[in-house]
């Protein structure tokens, strides 16, 4: 489950609500404004600014962006436009009065040609289809990428800029830009049967990529995926609206069910021929990544067994398909897939990250898979590789060395020496976007309760070049509201487990009073809600909603239970094969800890969460019914048998191998224990965590004669958004919290 992207009684604006325990007297409430739901979800009062449309150009000195229909070149040191690369008026097709309404673009390597996309239509989380057009900066000609009907997916220039590959109707195509001749690489693509050049639903969601092809560095070959999903069971969702609802059917492998059979091929552009790579006789396996090495004709393929506790790196000769295993990474629980594998120029070594010493660290290997040296070491972990300077042999990476709650940029050389922090001293979180030549990097810095600061920094020493966006207006705006301060604490449970937590108290907190507590939970493997950052998207809007609740006299807390990230493999993988058990114990223990505090009303502790957090909420209200007075469960998994194969089996094995791990901590199995008030929320168009989960849970509660409230959103997906949807949802949630906690 890739829940990483997830993740108010009606707040009266015309009359003052009755004050709750701990709320400010009217005289003080008038000194600063109170947050409203409309501020958060409708007016954009707290919208943070960034550096929009930032795309590094080849020399690292400039970046490009779309501005008022024009493609503009900007100086990174000033953030100011210096040149219009393509005027919007140049993007007219013959016979058309209006220019294209472009929504995306990409350059070829020498930036002489540009692919523009228009009328982009999202499919799932990472996939979309568009009409693509090729623009030549030399003669200012604009032509459609394809003359054939149908939108295209993943259009990508070859490294030499002479061709473009794309996917349409589950087949892979190549266009020669000199002649605009289109060649079909594959012809057997078919809906819900064969996918060429793209991924199936579960790969896109759980292995986090949708484009299933890559050009070789010399532009002579294209490596591509083929998914045979014929035997994968279909899931059927109804789309509501017309007189007769429509059926939407797609392939979705639930835990223990058949997966797609995946193969990898290499297409020789000149010969017009594909060669299949030897990925072994086992068909029930995963190929979560492919990447071309720096050696001509050498393709790197990562292969995993279905249980995902063994990952192998295969090197394949793209001309013959012959492969050999050069490196194997195993774990008694599971091995995670990321994008840290980097092949060095010269074709002699590669970088790889592993948790084999208990924390994710960087390792250098030769091309035969022999360890050269471990580059990073310590009771902390790297979270990403952000850049690599080939000439100097320096790796740039983000890590948790300062604290599990923080992320900062560091550099180290290939000898494992000279490690230095490039992020400024202080706390918070840094997200880095580094130029390809590592001369500069954009740094997005934020701290709890503070909007991000976007700055340009020197890639060699991290020194500030220029602040590009400081969100000064938003910072000032926030001072006008009754905001409490978010604090971070640690405490130990009755089992002696130390947990990190965040605590948000009302701005006018009075320790002599008693306050209700609402706990916000996510809790899934490798996740974190307790971080010293402003969050983004729903994370920041949840922070603002929690502030709204604090204004109404609530303390809002969040605790990262066992199984969450940034504290090493042992802490994260302690929940393996028993998902939900230790996590729920820790949330209940956390509630009991807060109940001991003198300013907490122990009879009024609630919990809420979305996605995995919705699952945790439903489980907490049933397995620990005496601890929590109420809960709001949004888009929850209620039985892991209903969720997809890749995510679920990674943490639970298959249901055939581990039935108790699936059933012992399924909210459906514990519905009869429910005591507190429950609001269950789901979108009927959720392609990720199916509405089926909430249907099964409500059915179980009906059988157990338990009372509950439900709120469903027609045709909304896992994010439950669009138009007034979020405003409506959080209004219902606010009302439920104020009435029941």
The rounded distance, in Å, linking the Cα atoms of 119 and 129 is: 8
Active-site entry in 558, 611, 633, 666? 611
Q: Are 118 and 103 spatial neighbours (Cβ–Cβ below 8 Å)?
A: yes
What does R_g of the chain's alpha carbons equal in angstroms? Answer: 27
Q: Which helix (H) or strand (E) holds 189?
A: none
DSSP 442: E
User: What ranges in 142-226 are assigned the alpha helix state H?
Assistant: 201-202
> What long-range pairs does 538-543 form, CB within 8 A, spacing at least 24?
538/5, 538/6, 538/7, 538/610, 538/719, 539/7, 540/46, 540/48, 541/40, 541/41, 541/726, 542/7, 543/449, 543/486
Q: Is 723 exposed, middle or buried (0-12, 13-18, 19+ CB in 10 A)?
A: exposed
**Catalytic residue status for 686:** yes
User: Is 160 labeled as catalytic in the residue annotation?
Assistant: no
∠187-192-195 over CA atoms, to 5°? 40
Distance CA 706, CA 700 (A): 9
Q: For residue 63, which of 468, 394, 388, 460 has the smallest C-alpha distance?
A: 468
Which position has the token pair 């990674």? 650
Residues 6+ apart with CB under 8 A from 510: 22, 599
* Residue 662, phi then psi, degrees to nearest 5: -80, -40
Chain centroid offset of residue 19 CA: 39
Rounded to whole angstroms, the Cα distance separating 1 from 24 reads: 41
Query: φ, ψ for residue 343 (rounded to 5)?
Result: -95, 135
What is the distance between the alpha carbons of residues 679 and 681, in angstroms, rounded to a whole number? Answer: 6
Measured on CA atoms in the order 350, 351, 354, 358, is the torsion positive or negative? positive
Catalytic site includes residue 611? yes
Looking at 200, 340, 686, 687, which residue is catalytic?
A: 686
Q: What is the Cα–Cα distance from 197 to 263, expressed in whole angstroms?
A: 11
**Of residues 361, 445, 682, 718, which has the active-site annotation?**
718
d(CA 396, CA 390): 11
CB 528 within 8 A of CB 446: no
Q: Are strands 70-75 and 171-176 parallel, antiparallel or unpaired?
A: unpaired
Of 638, 368, 405, nearest to 528 by C-alpha is 405
The contacts of residue 404 (CB under 8 Å, 6+ apart) are 380, 500, 528, 565, 566, 567
- Rounded Cα–Cα distance for residues 547 and 34 (Å): 9
Contacts of 318 (CB under 8 A, 6+ apart): 216, 221, 223, 266, 275, 277, 297, 298, 299
CA distance 367 to 347: 7
Active site residues: 611, 686, 718
């Amino acid at each position: 489950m890739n829940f990483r992207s997830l993740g108010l009684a009606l707040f009266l604006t015309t009359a003052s609500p009755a004050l709750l325990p701990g709320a400010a007297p009217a005289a003080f409430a008038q000194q600063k404004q109170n947050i409203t739901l409309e501020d958060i979800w409708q007016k954009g009062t707290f919208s943070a600014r960034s550096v929009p449309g930032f795309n590094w150009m080849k020399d690292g000195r400039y970046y490009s962006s779309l501005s008022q229909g024009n493609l503009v070149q900007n100086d990174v040191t000033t953030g100011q436009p210096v040149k219009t690369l393509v005027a919007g008026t140049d993007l007219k097709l013959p016979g058309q009065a209006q220019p294209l309404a472009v929504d995306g673009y990409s350059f070829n390597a020498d930036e002489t040609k540009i692919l523009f996309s228009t009328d982009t239509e999202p499919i799932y989380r990472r996939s979309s289809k568009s009409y693509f057009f090729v623009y030549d900066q030399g003669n200012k000609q604009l032509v459609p990428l394809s003359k054939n009907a149908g939108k295209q997916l993943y259009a990508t220039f070859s490294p030499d800029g002479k061709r473009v590959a794309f996917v349409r109707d589950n087949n892979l195509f190549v266009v020669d830009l000199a002649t605009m001749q289109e060649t079909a690489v594959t012809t057997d693509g078919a809906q819900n049967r064969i996918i060429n050049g793209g991924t199936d639903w579960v790969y896109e969601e759980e292995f986090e990529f949708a484009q299933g092809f890559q050009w070789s560095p010399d532009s002579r070959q294209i490596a591509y995926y083929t998914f045979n999903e014929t035997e994968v069971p279909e899931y059927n969702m109804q789309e509501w609206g017309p007189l007769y609802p429509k059926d939407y059917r797609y392939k979705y492998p639930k835990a223990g069910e058949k997966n797609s059979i995946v193969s990898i091929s290499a297409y020789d552009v000149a010969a017009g021929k594909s060669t299949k790579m030897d990925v072994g006789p086992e068909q029930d396996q995963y190929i979560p990544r492919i990447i071309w090495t720096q050696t001509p004709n050498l393709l790197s393929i990562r292969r995993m067994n279905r249980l995902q506790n063994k990952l192998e790196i295969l090197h394949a000769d793209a001309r013959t398909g012959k492969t050999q295993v050069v490196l194997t990474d195993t774990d008694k629980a599971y091995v995670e897939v990321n994008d840290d594998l980097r092949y060095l120029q010269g074709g002699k070594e590669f970088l790889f990250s592993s948790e084999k010493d208990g924390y994710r660290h960087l390792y250098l290997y030769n091309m035969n898979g022999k360890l050269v040296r471990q580059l990073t070491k310590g009771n902390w972990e790297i979270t990403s590789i952000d850049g690599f300077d080939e000439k100097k042999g320096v790796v740039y990476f983000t890590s948790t060395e300062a604290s599990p709650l923080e992320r900062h940029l560091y550099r180290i050389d290939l000898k494992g020496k000279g490690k230095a922090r490039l992020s400024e001293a202080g706390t918070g979180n840094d997200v880095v976007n580094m130029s390809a030549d590592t001369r500069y990097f954009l740094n997005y810095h934020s701290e709890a309760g503070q909007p991000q600061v976007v700055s340009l920094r020197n890639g060699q020493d991290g020194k500030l070049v220029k602040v590009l966006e400081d969100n000064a207006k938003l910072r000032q705006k926030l001072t006008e509201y009754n905001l409490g301060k978010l604090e971070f604490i640690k405490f130990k449970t009755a089992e002696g487990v130390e947990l990190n937590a965040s605590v948000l108290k009302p701005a006018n907190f009075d320790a002599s009073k008693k306050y209700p507590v609402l706990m916000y939970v996510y809790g899934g493997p490798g996740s974190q809600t307790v971080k010293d950052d402003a969050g983004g998207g729903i994370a920041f809007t949840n922070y603002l909603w929690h502030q709204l609740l604090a204004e109404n006299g609530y303390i809002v807390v969040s605790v990262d239970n066992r199984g969450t990230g940034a504290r090493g493999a042992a802490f994260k993988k302690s929940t393996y094969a028993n998902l939900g058990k230790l996590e729920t114990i820790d949330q209940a223990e956390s509630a009991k800890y807060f109940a001991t505090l003198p300013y907490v009303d122990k009879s009024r502790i609630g919990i809420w969460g979305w996605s995995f957090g919705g699952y945790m909420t439903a489980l907490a209200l049933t397995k620990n019914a005496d601890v929590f007075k109420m809960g709001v469960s949004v888009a929850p998994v209620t039985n892991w048998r209903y969720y997809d194969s890749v995510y679920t089996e990674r943490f639970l094995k298959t249901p055939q191998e581990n039935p108790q791990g699936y059933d012992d901590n399924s909210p459906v199995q514990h519905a009869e224990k429910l005591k507190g008030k429950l609001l269950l929320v789901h979108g009927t168009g959720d392609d990720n965590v199916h509405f089926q989960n909430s249907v099964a849970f409500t059915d179980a509660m009906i059988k157990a004669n338990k009372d509950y409230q439900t709120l469903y959103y027609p045709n909304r997906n896992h994010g439950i958004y669009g138009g007034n949807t979020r405003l409506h949802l959080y209004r219902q949630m606010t009302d439920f919290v104020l009435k029941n906690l």
